A and B are shown apart, each in its own frame.
Chain A
Amino acid sequence: MNNSLVEYIMHLADNSLIHGHRLSEWCGHGPILEVDIALSNIALDNIGAARSLYEYAAEIEGNGKTEDSYPYFRDVRQFKNSLLVELPNGNFADTIAKCLLFDAYQFYFYTALKNSTDMRLAAIAEKSLKEVTYHLRFSSEWAVRLGDGTDESKQKMQHAIAEHWEYAGELFAPSNIELEMIEKGIAPNMEALKDVWQQKLAETIEQATLSFPLSNEKGWFQSGGKKGIHTEYLGFILADLQYMQKTYPNSEW
């Protein structure tokens, strides 16, 4: 049971860490100063949420584990984040599309996780929800501004949503660990969240004067991240993220 719980917490933490790390790559490269700062703020919110979760996992696991053990000393296959968050930032519209899909998921997820039977997760959800509500507002408004903007921004935003859409399905497809957690009332029922999520996206996409991506008949989506099978991008992210600890093991500053 405790192993499954640690695995589950790790999946949540990895999602936040990798999403936050990707957004941190915008620092110094944002389209304008204000957006640069906004993206860095959102990156830090995500990394902060990941820290709380890793810390909790370390407490359960014991054996001298700390919050740093997980991000710095695991290899690609041990990361359980969804594929969506490890995708490259692309252009600004790509990042906004990725954020919109992920922020909306996190919004409904944390809203439901507040009712978790695990008090610690419920508390983390409560705190994170305030941050995520702002993230969702940020990404939704930019999606509308770009979609309902110039011909060029509209075309880029439409393309970005279509490109990322096939990676979103994985967020709502429960892994075996998630099924176990749902059974115990620790995790919310993911499939039930998908409808409200899709509804919210449909509204935003309509407001952005874009067309809703057509999912194919079988509703196929990219998956694997939750099982540790990743795109080629995650290895490069970890090379960056773990460089210091690998070059100078146990260094502190």
Chain B
Amino acid sequence: MSNQEWPLWEIFIRSKAGLDHKHVGSIHAADSTMAIEMARDVYTRRMEGISIWAVESTNIHASNPDDAGIFYEPSNDKIYRHPTFYELPDEITHM
């Protein structure tokens, strides 16, 4: 018996046609076929979905939480980036 752990996979489920795949959790599996079938058994038993994506967790690249300050805070005072910041002249219709 090998002590090597199976790789971790992130599972994304589309709940119905037209919606996006959403992250639902992760599982261990030896390969993508096994990952999708195990995801079916673990995450779709209560009619949660109609499509499954499995992505090996090592292939997910995430931003560094330490960067939160320089990444996201500068946009806090840029309300003019929201369309609602602008007042529409009355003459403009169909907006």
Q: A37-B41, A150-B2 are in contact. Are A32 and B33 (CB under 8 A)?
A: no
Q: State which residues 132-172 of A face B: CB under 8 Å.
A: 137-138, 141, 145, 150, 152
Asked whether A252 is an interface residue with its Cβ less than 8 Å from the other chain, the reply is no
A138 touches B37 (CB 8 A): yes
Q: State which residues 22-38 of B face A: CB under 8 Å.
A: 27-30, 33-34, 37-38
A38 touches B38 (CB 8 A): yes
A152 touches B1 (CB 8 A): yes
Q: State which residues 1-41 of B face A: CB under 8 Å.
A: 1-2, 27-30, 33-34, 37-38, 41
CA distance A37 to B44 in the complex (A): 11
Contact of B42 among A37, A145, A152 (CB under 8 A): A37
B28 touches A32 (CB 8 A): yes
Counting chain B CB atoms within 10 Å of each CB, the highest count among A32, A34, A38, A150 belongs to A34
Asked whether A41 is an interface residue with its Cβ less than 8 Å from the other chain, the reply is yes
Asked whether B81 is an interface residue with its Cβ less than 8 Å from the other chain, the reply is no
CA distance A138 to B2 in the complex (A): 22
CA distance A1 to B36 in the complex (A): 46
A34 touches B42 (CB 8 A): yes
CB distance from A117 to the nearest CB of B (A): 33
B41 touches A41 (CB 8 A): yes
- Cβ–Cβ < 8 Å partners of B2 in chain A: 150
Contact of A34 among B1, B29, B33 (CB under 8 A): B29
CA distance A246 to B28 in the complex (A): 42
CB distance from A137 to the nearest CB of B (A): 8
Q: State which residues 20-71 of A face B: CB under 8 Å.
A: 32-35, 37-38, 41
- Cβ–Cβ < 8 Å partners of B37 in chain A: 38, 137-138, 141
CB distance from B79 to the nearest CB of A (A): 47
CB distance from B19 to the nearest CB of A (A): 23
B27 touches A34 (CB 8 A): yes
The residue of chain A having its C-beta at the shortest distance from the C-beta of B41 within the complex is: A38
CA distance A79 to B10 in the complex (A): 45
CA distance A141 to B29 in the complex (A): 13
- Cβ–Cβ < 8 Å partners of B94 in chain A: none
Q: Which residues of B are at the interface with A, using a C-beta cutoff of 8 A?
A: 1-2, 27-30, 33-34, 37-38, 41-42, 45
